[in-house]
């Protein structure tokens, strides 16, 4: 996981005790490093609410990686009146 923290909602990522052992928060990265990370990934997961539609989608698609938008899943749960954990 990479990117600047634009909301205090994500501060829990700074506490290594609160994140799974297979999740690594890399912080803010440059364009070329992001492209390299995407090139070695299986897919791109978009989870950030304030981000909206950004260049990261285009970067992932140019690397041939599909994008999964968790924001859409969350909105669908609330739209249908279902409660999430």
Q: Tens digit of pLDDT for each residue in 62-85? A: 889 988 877 655 555 555 554 443
What does the pLDDT read at residue 23?
81
Query: Is 59 among the domain residues?
Result: yes
Contacts of 29 (CB under 8 A, 6+ apart): 2, 3, 37
Q: Is residue 2 part of a domain?
A: no
DSSP-based helix, strand, coil % in the chain, nearest 5:
45, 5, 50
Query: Does residue 1 lie in a domain region?
Result: no
Determine the average pLDDT of the residues in 31-47: 86
Of the chain, the end-to-end C-alpha distance in Å amounts to: 22
Q: How many domains does the chain have?
A: 1
Residue 71 covered by a domain: yes
Q: What is the pTM of this model?
A: 0.62
Residue 10 predicted with pLDDT over 80: no
What does R_g of the chain's alpha carbons equal in angstroms?
Answer: 14
- Whether residue 48 is contained in a domain is answered as yes
Residue that is written with structure tokens 């990370």 in the block: 37
Residue 13 belongs to a domain: yes
Q: Which domain holds residue 40?
A: 8-79
Identify which has the larger pLDDT, 32 or 46. Answer: 32
């Amino acid at each position: 996981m990479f990117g600047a923290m634009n909301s205090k909602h994500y501060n829990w990522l700074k506490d290594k005790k609160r994140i799974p052992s297979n999740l690594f928060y890399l912080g803010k990265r440059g364009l070329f490093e992001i492209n390299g990370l995407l090139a070695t990934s299986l897919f791109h997961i978009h989870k950030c609410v304030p981000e909206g539609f950004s260049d990261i989608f285009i970067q992932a698609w140019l690397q041939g990686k599909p994008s999964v938008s968790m924001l859409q899943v969350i909105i669908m749960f609330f739209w249908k009146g279902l409660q999430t954990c």
